[in-house]
Amino acid sequence: MTDVLRRGRASLAFAFLVQGVAFALLVTRIPAIQNRYGVSDALLPAFLAAVPVLAGIGSVATERLVKAVPPSRVLRWSQPVVLLALLGVGAGEHLAGLAVALAAFGLAVGALDASMNMLGVSLQRAYRRSIMLSFHAAYSLGGIVGASLAWVGAHGQLALWVSYLPVVLVLMPAALIGSRWYVDQEQRREEGRGEGGPQDRVSGPAAGSPDRAGSVVAFKLLLPLCLVMAVTYIGDSTVSNWSAKYLQDVLGSSEQMATVPYNVYMVTTLLGRAIGDLGVRRLGAVAVVRAGALVAAAGFAVVAGAPGEWVGMLGFTLLGLGLCVLVPQTFAAAGRLFPGASDAAVARLNVFNYVGFLIGSPLVGVLGDVWSYRGAMLVPMVLVLVTLVYARSFAPEPDRYGGGHERPRTADVGRGSHGL
């Protein structure tokens, strides 16, 4: 692989890490944000739901935006907005200020998530082996760092803005510097023409000849992946938005201990994703996805029946190991299905990320209020099992990366948004 690809992969992994830090700092301090602004339990789901709605809008806008500008530019400027919006959440004093900050956070996150995964899918095609899980592993590492910083802030009883400001001051310039090495699809194509090496030549579907899905995203083919993405994020949003509150209110832990489940979840997510690409190469995407769904369902069952905080954290551990493989493989599958329109496929699929959050956050809250929070945990358990029904959608021929399982394809990253 060329130095351009290696630098592009490293810089994109850092962008995923920065986003993991920012998101974890937001969601693990929800109880503190609620107390700071006086947000009632009845109003909290509305605030939590507004972020994924706006993020979905941001993702849809990104699909259109990357027809005119490369995804790298969208990522370069959306990441600082996310960080500044996070600081705004911590520094505000009134509900109106919180609403504005969360609106900016949501719109920017939608653009950021879509553009990051567009670049990840295109780089995976250039590498011709599974690397998508490694990017999401970097996100998980960032989540661990963010959750740990949140624990320090809660332990030291620091004001939110005091916790957030040093992080923004360090990460924002670092992210801008790292963005210099993002690799776009057009840049890869130019490099391939310039070097003329066998790994950089354009050939096959990505060179412009229509594949079985053509250069148009057929929603019928994308729909199973959309459903898997939605149910996965229903599960993920249950952990990120309700784990702290569940441990504190249902299992009787302290506020300090309530920040730990998300950290545990991110640690096991990191471990699963760190070895996940190897698992895909050895066993195939279908087997990895099925195993992830079963482990995640077991995790929700443990959380629902936990007698205390430590068993509850065991359940969140299983959830991290199970859910961690589903999202990266869903994006990767979309890229394989639509090599001539991967940017559009990723942007549309990414919307169902927020559909899952939109459903998951209020669903658990409503069921917790009218039934019980323990019972509410059984609903995402059932939904994540839907993945088993659609597991074969992760195996368009060929269904494995690397190890001789993938038939020869171009190393060019495809036409993407610029070929629409």
Q: What is the pLDDT of residues 124-170, one digit of tens each?
A: 888 888 899 999 999 989 988 998 898 898 888 888 999 999 999 99
Instruction: Give the separation between CA 71 and CA 224, rounded to whole angstroms.
Output: 25
Q: Does domain 3-181+211-396 correspond to CATH entry 3.30.565.10?
A: no
| Residue 42: partners with Cβ closer than 8 Å, 6 or more residues away | none
Cα maximum dimension of the chain: 64
Q: Verify cis geometry, omega within 30 degrees of 0, for the bond prior to 398.
A: yes
Using alpha carbons, select from 212, 151, 153, 181 the residue that is nearest to residue 14.
Answer: 181
State percent of the chain over pLDDT 70: 86
Distances, alpha carbon 45 to alpha carbons 88, 241, 276, 359, 419, in Å: 20, 10, 33, 10, 40
Instruction: Give the separation between CA 185 and CA 413, rounded to whole angstroms.
Output: 5
Distances, alpha carbon 232 to alpha carbons 127, 213, 356, in Å: 26, 25, 7
**Which pLDDT tens digits describe the chain residue by residue (420 residues)?**
588 899 999 999 999 999 999 998 998 888 889 888 988 877 887 887 788 889 999 999 999 999 999 999 999 999 999 999 999 999 988 899 999 999 999 999 999 999 999 999 999 888 888 899 999 999 989 988 998 898 898 888 888 999 999 999 999 999 999 999 999 865 555 555 444 443 333 233 333 333 444 457 778 889 999 999 999 999 998 887 788 888 888 888 777 787 788 778 888 999 999 999 999 989 988 999 999 999 999 999 999 999 998 899 999 999 999 999 999 999 999 988 888 888 999 999 999 998 988 888 778 888 988 989 999 999 999 999 999 999 888 875 544 444 433 434 433 343 333 333
Q: What angle do CA 359, 296, 333 make, to 5 degrees?
A: 75
| Residue 347: partners with Cβ closer than 8 Å, 6 or more residues away | 59, 60, 62, 63, 66, 114, 118
